[in-house]
Structures are given as C-alpha cells and as structure tokens.
Structure 1
Amino acid sequence: MREETELAPHDDRIEKLDPRFLTTLRDHVHRTLRSAILSGRFGVNERVNERQLAEQLGVSTTPIKEALRQLETEGLVETLPRRGVLIRFNSGWAEEMILARAALESMIAHLAAKRLTKPAAAELQTTINLMMEATKAGGADDLIALNEKFHDQIHIASQCQYLARMIERQQFYDASIRRVIHSDPAEREIALNEHSAIAAAIISGDTDTSERAMRDHVVRSGETYLKIVFKNKREV
C-alpha cells in the first residue's frame, strides 16, 4: 500500500495568493467609491443613484448598498428620507482629514527615527536617491510609486501597530490626484526637498525634527490637494 504524505507547511510548490484577491467585491466597490468621492468627482450635496452606480461599475446593487452604508459610517455620505444618498464630503471635512493624517504621520516619523535599524536606514536612503533621479526625469508614475514606498518604509521602520491601523483611514489621495500634483515641476522639487529632509532627520535619529518635518510636509501637500479638488467648486 502506497504511503500517504502531507504537504509541508512551507511547501514552495504552491504560491501564496495575491492579497488583492482576498478582498471582497464589497471592499472593491467601497474603495472605488471612496476614491471617487475623495478625489472630488462628486459635488458636495450631490445625490447619487444606487442603480446608476451599479450599472457604471458592472455589479448588482447589493455591494453598492453595502459600500454606501460603510461610507455613511465614515461620514462621507448621508442617507435622507425621500432624498436618497447625498455626498457630504466637503473642503472642511477634507481639511480635518489632512490635519488628522499630519498628526498620525508625524508621530510615526518620530517613532521611526527612534526605532530605525541600519538596514532600514539604507533602504530609505536608496528610495531618496531614486526619488532624485525620478524628479529630474519628471516621471509622474515613478514618483507616485516611490512616494508610496517612502511612506511605507517609514511606517515599517516605526514598528507601529495601533497608529498604523489608524493611518489606513487617512489615505485619501488616489493615483489621479497624485499625478496632477506631480505633473508640476515646482511641486516635484518641493516634495523632493521635503522628503529628503524627513529621511535625513529619521536616519540621524532626530525624533523632534522628523516629527516636525513630516507634519509640515503632510499639511503643505494637503493644501495643494485642497486647491486641486475644490477649485472653483461651490459648496451649498
């Protein structure tokens, strides 16, 4: 009789699932709608139609309803009797999100400067060097990817758990907004200088400067975001 065997716990013949496939349809719909709202594609107090959204996204109304309920708990939309679902995201709300993100990111940078390892410091400096090259080349897509990598490296270096979970809800820039921001040569230079200063402070272990530099960077870039999203938009 042939002896039966079991797969080893770390058998490399089977690849791990891509994390992107582990999210539910509701999560995908939620992220898509949330990104559209935070990018200013809907007007303040605009009414959204569930059936139209379902048709546009190619899904049933069920995940749309679930996503809208989640967005309502976040305060981005509101359901009113006989009026339907209204967009409640406005410039004031966006400004509060920016300030909240600035507070969280600055504390994470503080802890990163305190807990940074030598390998992590080398990786952060490498990213800054790549940012310098991408800034000279003017490649918006490369800068977007490097910007996300830069902040991710700081999050990992900080070894934060609680703050890392909180910061997830403050991620409101999407690729389209980042592309507009990074299409401006002056903005690219400013961002590079800010990122370089943050990295230098963290690598040197200067917690106070790291915290202040990160807060100033997030607030300033947030103000640029506000100008882009709410330019010429009248809130009623």
Structure 2
Amino acid sequence: MGGDDALLPVEPVFLKSLRDHVYGLVRDAILAGRLKGGEKLNERHLASQLGISTTPLKEALRVLEAEGLVRSEPRRGIYITFNAGQAEEMMLARAALESMIARQAAKRVKDEDMAMMRELIVEMRAGLETVDVLQLIALNERFHNAIHEASGCGYLRRLQGGQNIYTHAARLSVLSEERERFLAVEEHEAIANAIAAREPDLAERLMRDHVIRSGEKHLLRV
C-alpha cells in the first residue's frame, strides 16, 4: 500500500461533485506513480486518507476500472493495472499525435494564432518567477491547445483528447522540478518559432522530442 501521503484529503469546495473529484485524485495518484502498478488498494484506508466514506470511492473506482487503470477481482479486491509499460505507450502515442498536429500548425498558422502563442510564452516566463506549478500547468495546456487550434486538425485533436488523463498527471509530475519548468518554456519557444517560420519538419521534430523527453522523465517515477 502507498505511503500515507499518497493522496491528499478532499477539500470542502469539491463536495458538490464528490465522486468526480475523488476519481480525479485517485487517477492522478495512479498516473503519477504515487500508487504503484500491481498494488492492491485498501478502500477503507484510501477513504480515510481522503476524509470520505467508501461509497464515492467505490463509484470512482468503477470509472477507473472502465478506463483500464484498475482491475476488480472477485473476493480478492481491487488492483492497480497501470504500469510503466502502459505509461510509455501513452507517451509515445501522445508524441506521435502532438508532433503531427504541430506539423500541420506550421502549415496553417495565422497571425492571431502566433500572437496567442507568444503571449502564453511571456506568461509562462513570468510564472517561472512565482513558482506556481498549477498555473504553469494551465499555461502549458493552453499553449498546446493554441497549437491544436492553429493546426485546424479535427480528427487528430479528437484522438489526442484520449491522452488527456495521462498528460495532466505527467505535467504535474515533471513541472514540479525547477529545471524542468525552465526547460519546458525553452522548448515551447523553439516550437513556436518553428511554427512561426512555417517549417513543418522542424516543428514536428521539436514537438516529438519535447513530448518524449518530458515523458521519459515522468516514466522514472511510475
């Protein structure tokens, strides 16, 4: 069983949609590697950590099982099925999709798209000084979304949406390190410059390298 600090208690502001917030907390703990693959979950212990009853936890675990992150075994309990191998596959899938989207963005980008990317990079650099990790994650996600929007890709964006449950947790894990925060901004600026220069081959390569490098950093923690 994971350590007592594997999960944080649910804050009162989240009680309106308790199951969804419990689902998010447990999911992020699994994807970030704080709850390990193959581990048996003690529902009462987890509910106690979260400060809730077992009912919303059981509901959240059913959703996680449908997503393939946990497995329920009759008379034995619930086990985490997410592991480093699955995390690597998700990272590689994301790298393939994001790099193709960046390639298309370099072909189709408009001036207003570039203005948004530049503005977000300025905000990310300012965020490096405040060390607000959650704000940097939000800016990071907005930057990638700006590239998605510039690409004009519908089908690829829908496929990429399936990676979001992993992507957020990976960013939370990686961007918690100061060096990674600075490196991520530098890589984002290089990607933006390639898109602005309408260089699809370069944009594709830089995005793939960015996703794989940060993903491999996260894999060390899963």
TM-score range, shorter chain: 0.7 to 0.9
- What are the ranges of 5 or more consecutive residues in structure 2 without an aligned counterpart? 1-12
Separation in structure 2 between the aligned mates of residue 159 and residue 50 of structure 1, nearest angstrom: 44
- Which residue matches 1:81? 74
Offset from partner CA, 1:158-185 (integer Å, 9 cap, x none): 233333333233232436414423x22x
- CA positional deviation for 1:74: 2.2
Separation in structure 2 between the aligned mates of residue 99 and residue 54 of structure 1, nearest angstrom: 34
Separation in structure 1 between the aligned mates of residue 55 and residue 158 of structure 2, nearest angstrom: 27
- Which residue matches 2:173? 177
Residue of 70, 95, 98 corresponding to 1:102: 95
Separation in structure 2 between the aligned mates of residue 52 and residue 162 of structure 1, nearest angstrom: 42
Separation in structure 2 between the aligned mates of residue 133 and residue 123 of structure 1, nearest angstrom: 15
- Check if 1:128 corresponds to 2:121: yes
Q: How does 1:154-169 map to 2 (within 5 A)?
A: 154-169=147-162
Residue of 64, 72, 83 corresponding to 2:65: 72
| Code of the aligned partner of 2:131 | G
**Matched residue count:** 205
Offset from partner CA, 1:90-139 (integer Å, 9 cap, x none): 1111111111111121122122223322111111112223334444x373
Q: Secondary structure at the match of 1:180?
A: coil
Report if the CA contact (8 A) 1:45-1:86 is conserved. yes
Q: Percent identity?
A: 52
- Which residue matches 2:40? 47
Separation in structure 2 between the aligned mates of residue 138 and residue 99 of structure 1, nearest angstrom: 31
- Check if 1:139 corresponds to 2:131: yes
Instruction: Report the TM-score, using the length of structure 1 for normalisation.
Output: 0.75
- CA positional deviation for 1:43: 2.1
Q: Secondary structure at the match of 2:162?
A: helix
- What are the ranges of 5 or more consecutive residues in structure 1 without an aligned counterpart? 1-19, 231-236
Q: 1:161 to 1:32 in 2, by over 3 A?
A: farther
Separation in structure 2 between the aligned mates of residue 129 and residue 35 of structure 1, nearest angstrom: 28
**Rg: which structure is higher?**
1
Residue of 188, 195, 202 corresponding to 1:209: 202
